[in-house]
Amino acid sequence: MAALLIGLIWYLFLKPHDYVVRFKTKALPGTINQTIKSWSKSIENAKFLGQENISNLRYQISFKDSLNTYHWKIQEENDSISLVKVYVTDKDHSLALRMAIPFSETDFEKRTKKTVAAFAEQLQDHLKNFKVNIIGRSEIPEKYCACVPLKETQLNKAYGMKQYYSLLSSTMSGKDIVLDGSPMLEVEHWNLQNDSISYNFCFPVIASAILPERKGVFYKKIKRQQAIRAVYNGNYITSDRAWYALLDYAHKNNIEVVAKPLEIFNTNPNLGGNALEWEAEVYLPIKE
């Protein structure tokens, strides 16, 4: 009897959530994390509350009659499958819901299932639109580059590149200037807590005394360095999915890396075509 009473008290007053929805998906935690953040922008009155790490984040969603907290926990079960648990709490009606849930399917439960199902469907659609192939140990090639320094969120990094592509193109358009490969993105700082990055968008060029000076453009050498490498196919907006895949690969293979991704864009997206045929080489430097 005492155990039953203790269990009832825990369920009604101490349990940290009102309801939980679970589903499995063939995606890494980093991809799921970023898709949650992208999806939430389409949800009216959704507010990001923060994250402990990429596998543990919270959102608040305001519905007509209630304020709900969605606590997302992502657990990687193996190399390809992750278990997603969504713990949901209604701020103002928690006790009434806990009393009703064992006896009937409440509107709260129906809405929660529908909301999570909508996310799961969008995630599956997203997974069809890119591919990441881990190559393994490789080497970042040495390049001399004309670069533009930028600060953005991961989601907006491609916008930053698009914005300054014409500046670099016009600066490097002189007849005596020789380009030395595809455009590159070099991350100098990556904050995994708030998804902010400081990065250089660069055109590799052959170093010479006639390289033009232009406001906002600087020159630097990207040194040759041991790294792990992946090939990403898809829209460059979401090429950071390869960043997370490389971090995961490094962790599983006990490779100490520096969280400063470098990308080489082998396909010009301005030419259009099927984004799944766009290719970027993605590197994470190995710690020296």
What is the predicted pLDDT for the residue at 156? 92
Q: What is the mean pLDDT of residues 56-68?
A: 90
> Has residue 158 got a pLDDT over 70?
yes
What is the predicted pLDDT for the residue at 43? 87
Sheet holding 82-90, edge to edge: 19-25, 82-90, 67-76, 56-62, 46-53
What is the predicted pLDDT for the residue at 205? 96
What is the predicted pLDDT for the residue at 66? 84
Average pLDDT, the chain: 89
Residue range 63-97, pLDDT digits in tens: 887 888 899 999 999 877 999 999 998 866 554 45
Confidence of residue 6 (pLDDT cuts 50, 70, 90): very low
Do domains 13-128 and 132-285 share one topology? The answer is no
Confidence of residue 10 (pLDDT cuts 50, 70, 90): very low
Q: What is the mean pLDDT of residues 90-108?
A: 60
> Has residue 174 got a pLDDT over 90?
no
The CATH code of the domain at 13-128 is: 3.30.530.20
Whole-model pTM?
0.90
Confidence of residue 13 (pLDDT cuts 50, 70, 90): very low
Fold observed for domain 132-285: Multidrug-efflux Transporter 1 Regulator Bmrr; Chain A (3.20.80)
Instruction: Kindly list the domain boundaries of the chain, sorted by start residue.
Output: 13-128, 132-285
